[in-house]
Structure 1
């Protein structure tokens, strides 16, 4: 038991893993998908933070007290502003979390937006790409680089490995049993465990968690990947862990409907930042329905109450310019449409132009006088000009987030039903309940992942190193078959300095709370496989690529290369649908909007089958 095991490679799990390394521990990340990222990569608006350097630089007079009040009001659905202890941890650690991302990983979070229920602009993002994807991939690539540079003595990553059971001895969690999906083997890893497996918003099975707590939502689509089936919650419950607020499942008002697939079960999400930039929600008659910057439960409720589908999210020229990257991305995926002016929108709606023009004129007056019948207080990018261009998307309510989950304490420790900690077990991210109460604020999911990833990572590292110093751990287990140990280690304790030094078997001492020195590589686990050797590439033209567009034969051209993604469809972090949109086409422009240039070479070189005839070659 010489490591901490993190189950789940999304932002919460990766934040925990990096924190463990910073505190002098060793870590093994188990991820059941082929790639890390999870739902964190889908977050489209940003990460909240109060009293950050970015806010101060921009003159935003926010405070932790105001953020705490906003959080508590949302958590109680407006019935109370009394915060919980977990609310306090979330808010008070928000600025340090944002600064950690900026300072430790060099991330650009220089832009601020205001989302629903926020008293000030506090949602941080960069200039391009989805912030969830940028943040999570950066932590993932940094973790990969540590493994690449230093071998597996400090950090390990086991993909396609699904945790199935927590191992407990004398009341303490000492490891996890998992299925290696690639080989079919059941293996074990030993060490204290952090559960960071996400929620259960894709568990549509008849006997699943969603059916048992919110069967009334089963008919709705979801924004979640199919991996979100409540695995971590179920494992913790088997050990007697408590749960809280399972019935509070957030329905987001702006799932993006592709007109070509109106009944799709999995939808992309329209970033709440689009409404923060001034986007309006209009019904099928071209009329506003609510305060567009109200809480998610309120906006969804107003849409459902009026029942005037299809609803549309409408961005004026000025609003679209502020969040141009998102609009171009959604348009490229067929989820948003460009209109030269408001008259074209009226034609699509089947209403007179004067009716839409009056709606926009009334809104301009409301923005000027700050007197909105729906109570809206913040207006961006007004006035709106009927003669200028617009971007418009069809939207519908969609299952988005599970507020409920495992009961945890302020340090991320998992609690029993009687509120007692389960030694050696911690949790972070969406799988942990009680952080957001009955309703989550937009921009606080990424924050939750980073804050409680760091909190649980610090707690688990302390638990590990304290156990070592107290002699509870004397060396790696002799059984397990997971390759979890890098070899014997020794420990020295200096009580006068309150310092623990761990030698992980390579001669380099690691001090609790310090940065770990480079270590010698350890033998790879059976779950870790070498990358395939490069193969000879053939040359194809676009006519040939265009012939491969079926589910069992999909080619895509990207940056002068031809990719056969048939075997990759189910592994793609963005889902199968994201690839099928570009089947048989050159997807270079859309690819480059989302990805780093070397992502295919690094993570899926086997899909590269050739070069594109006549194209300028570049590294993917």
Structure 2
């Protein structure tokens, strides 16, 4: 409904095309995701009266189709509503029962079929019989030698994760222990933007820097103050370009960009993982770069935007100092093309506030 209200041109076929370009080419799963996402968003809004009024065009998408509200992270908004609904049902009827502070230890079997679970609560074991759905999350926070990460993607063990420390693959291991077949566990996604805790920069658990920060116009720059990628490219592409450039990297938002996502900015700064700079000059001083460098970075971005506004085809035009074009990193697919959002001229950088 939000897309229609804002006259966004998008289709299930276009969404499907975008998804297949960046995934494992499994059309049966992509069909479920892309075909059901619109009705599911409408259901959340209608059923729970959720605020999903803000649209953003994020990495790998060729149209604005990611929904969020004006406050809180969208995941919080959605999951809190669902949890509260189940809690109300459990209070009013026998249709649902919630058991908290318990740990499932084993899947129970009967004649070769799963028939329930064995769980521990307050030092005692209990059995719960019935159909079982495993929804225990992934395994990205298990860095031990016998972890699923070590088994399927040992090359990623040195990286931190934005998964919670509970995400250790317990459910998958329980399934495998009774002979369940697992698939695609090697498909571990590396997200390009995580927030570093200044007091503990080597921490293995990081706080996610929401992709919406790039969607509202945030720029990713390297240690020299230069852009080196299309911020709205797919995550694997942005991460790949980071390996080639010079860290540390910064995700910077000018005044207009930060105002569009201010709840996030205030939340991050409150946690001490994001800084606010009164001026771009302060930012450059903190980075140890010349102001003229950051001015040039923004000016090149600004000039490319002006050119594409006059061109019905939208470019491509050089948008960062490497000389590559705005849509080139996405393989000429149009991702990032015709989308310059909350841009500023280089001359404004000196006095512009930044997050």
TM-score normalised per structure 2: 0.89
Within the candidate set 281, 286, 289, 1:351 is matched to 289
Selected match of 2:222 from 275, 283, 288: 283
Which residue does the alignment assign to 2:340? 379
Cα deviation digits, residues 295-324 of structure 1 (max 9, x gap): 001101111122x11100010111111111
Name the CA distance, whole Å, in 1 between partners of 2:269 and 2:32.
Answer: 38
Q: Residue 223 of structure 1 corresponds to which residue in structure 2?
A: 162
Q: Is the 8 A contact 1:327 1:391 kept in 2?
A: no
For the residue of structure 1 that corresponds to 2:52, the secondary structure is coil
Structure 1 distance, partners of 2:26, 2:130, is 34
Aligned residue-pair number = 330
In 1, distance between residues paired with 2:226 and 2:36?
Answer: 41
SS in 2 for 1:271: coil
SS of residue in 2 equivalent to 1:187: strand
Tell me: higher relative CO, structure 1 or 2? Use CA pairs within 8 A at least 6 residues apart.
Answer: 1
Contact 1:316 1:388 in 2 (8 A): no
Bigger share in strand: 1
1:418-457 mapped onto 2 (5 Å cutoff)? none
Q: CA offset at residue 238 of structure 1?
A: 2.2
Q: Which position in structure 2 is the counterpart of 1:131?
A: 74
1:35-434 to 2 correspondence within 5 Å?
53-76=1-24, 83-148=26-91, 150-151=92-93, 153-180=94-121, 183-306=122-245, 308-370=246-308, 371-372=317-318, 373-374=324-325, 375=327, 376-377=336-337, 378-384=339-345, 385-392=348-355
CA deviations on 1:474-494 (whole Å, 9 max, x unpaired) are xxxxxxxxxxxxxxxxxxxxx
After superposition, the Cα gap between the structure-2 partners of 1:234 and 1:83, relative to the gap in structure 1 and judged at 3 Å, is: closer
After TM superposition, give the deviation of residue 369 of structure 1 in Å: 2.0
1:169 is displaced (CA, Å) by 1.8
Aligned partners of 2:280 and 2:354 also within 8 Å: no
Unmatched 5+ residue regions in structure 1?
A: 1-52, 77-81, 393-620
Larger Rg: 1
Distance verdict in 2 for CA 1:388–1:319, change over 3 Å: farther
Cα distance between partner residues in 2 of 1:388 and 1:187: 63
Moved more, 167-176 or 330-339: 167-176
Question: RMSD of the TM alignment (CA)?
Answer: 1.5
Q: Hey, what's the Cα distance between the residues in 2 that align with 1:331 and 1:388? A: 20
CA contact (8 A) 2:279 2:354 kept: no
User: Counterparts of 1:368 and 1:270 in 2: how far apart (Å)?
Assistant: 29
Q: For structure 2, list consecutive stretches of 5 or more residues without a partner in the other structure.
A: 309-316, 319-323, 328-335
